């Protein structure tokens, strides 16, 4: 599949980053969320073990690594506008484990929860009580090596861990929401020290993976299959929905910029249900691109288009998630193509309606 890539494909991706596309890149067969919908929330060997505390040695690449749904490439059409990528097993929250959080299986919630790892008096300790667990990074790199050895340049291109929590998300994981939000008021200097330390861990986490991932065509691919001439990182701040704009720019933004400055290409993951973060991202001047996952709640696609146009006036935009054919046609018609990737999979209008009702809206 990689061998079928052409200069045209690489040229498309350069044009994406420089916002000079004449038409949007539309990824339907290779869409990130579509190719991984089949992956179970928990592997079979963790089912029935509610409360299980994970240890790195419980993870085995040959056993737990998942492969995305195969894509039949039409020989007449050739490869789609993106590469098909693969990343380390994404049901494990690697970064929270690396910063020291216990990871606990919830069979009821069908997920792996993080537990706070800092003591009540964390702000009084010289090192803030930080105890990173680098054995989780070692295990993550074992998965990366496995992918490079087994998959790289055959069916998929290896990329880095997809669930790239940012400094705000990780600080909530480490302290719990109540202690962090109180700390923003009562211990601001200590919170800023913690966030800076987390930013440095994020940089180390990403670079360690890229160090053992061979470049392709002189560059690298992100999780959405977009190639860049240099290393790329993705980060998310889903829990920023609970803080004000002023708090974001005082506490989180300096650390986000620390991460941004460490990589030539970066994507900030946001959600359509929390449009404020995407708006704030426009003030991060050196941030390369914004990704918006279309939620089954919050503003509709039609209501979101004005914000997405404003983003595309300044930065490339990746729209991810399910859309109907009607919505896809609307996005192509209304949004400027210059830096647009539609990383979507098609569903019926009825399926969209059921998804909305499932999330309690509409």
* CATH at 210: 3.20.20.210
Report residues of the chain scoring pLDDT below 50.
75-78, 357-362
Task: Give Cβ neighbours of residue 292 (< 8 Å, ≥ 6 apart).
Answer: 270, 271, 272, 278, 304, 308, 311, 317, 318, 319, 320
Q: Are 252 and 195 in contact (CB under 8 A)?
A: yes
Give the chain's domain count: 1
Q: What is the pLDDT of residue 37?
A: 80
Exposed (0-12), middle (13-18) or buried (19+): which is 209, by Cβ within 10 Å?
A: buried
Residues spanned by the domain of 317: 2-358
Q: What is the DSSP letter of 54?
A: P
pTM of the model: 0.93
Task: Give Cβ neighbours of residue 52 (< 8 Å, ≥ 6 apart).
Answer: 46, 104, 105
């Amino acid at each position: 599949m990689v061998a079928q890539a052409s200069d045209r494909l690489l040229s498309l991706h350069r044009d994406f980053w420089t916002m000079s596309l004449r038409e949007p890149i539309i990824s339907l067969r290779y869409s990130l969320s579509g190719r991984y919908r089949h992956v179970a929330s928990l592997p079979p060997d963790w089912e029935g073990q509610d409360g299980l505390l994970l240890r790195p040695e419980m993870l085995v690449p040959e056993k737990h690594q998942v492969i995305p749904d195969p894509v039949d490439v039409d020989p007449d059409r050739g490869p789609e506008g993106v590469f098909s990528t693969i990343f380390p097993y994404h049901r494990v929250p690697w970064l929270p484990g690396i910063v020291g959080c216990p990871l606990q299986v919830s069979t009821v919630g069908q997920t792996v929860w993080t537990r706070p790892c800092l003591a009540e008096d964390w702000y009084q300790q010289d090192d803030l009580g930080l105890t990173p667990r680098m054995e989780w990074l070692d295990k993550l790199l074992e998965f990366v090596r496995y992918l490079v050895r087994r998959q790289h340049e055959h069916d998929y291109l290896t990329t880095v861990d997809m669930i790239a929590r940012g400094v705000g998300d990780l600080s909530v994981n480490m302290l719990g929401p109540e202690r962090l939000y109180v700390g923003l008021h009562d211990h601001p200097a200590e919170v800023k020290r913690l966030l800076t330390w987390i930013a440095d861990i994020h940089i180390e986490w990403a670079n360690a993976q890229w160090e053992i991932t061979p470049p392709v065509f002189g560059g690298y691919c992100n999780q959405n299959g977009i190639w860049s001439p240099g290393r790329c990182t993705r980060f998310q701040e889903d829990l920023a929905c609970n803080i004000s704009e002023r708090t974001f720019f005082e506490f989180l933004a300096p650390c986000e910029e620390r991460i941004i400055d460490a990589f030539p290409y970066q994507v900030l993951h946001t959600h359509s249900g929390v449009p404020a973060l995407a708006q704030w991202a426009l003030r991060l001047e050196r941030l390369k691109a914004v990704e918006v996952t279309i939620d089954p709640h919050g503003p509709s696609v039609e209501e979101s288009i004005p914000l997405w146009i404003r983003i595309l006036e300044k930065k490339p935009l990746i729209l991810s998630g399910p859309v109907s054919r009607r919505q896809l046609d609307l996005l192509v018609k209304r949004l400027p193509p210059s830096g647009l990737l539609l990383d979507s999979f098609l569903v019926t209008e009825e399926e969209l309606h059921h998804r909305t009702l499932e999330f309690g809206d509409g």
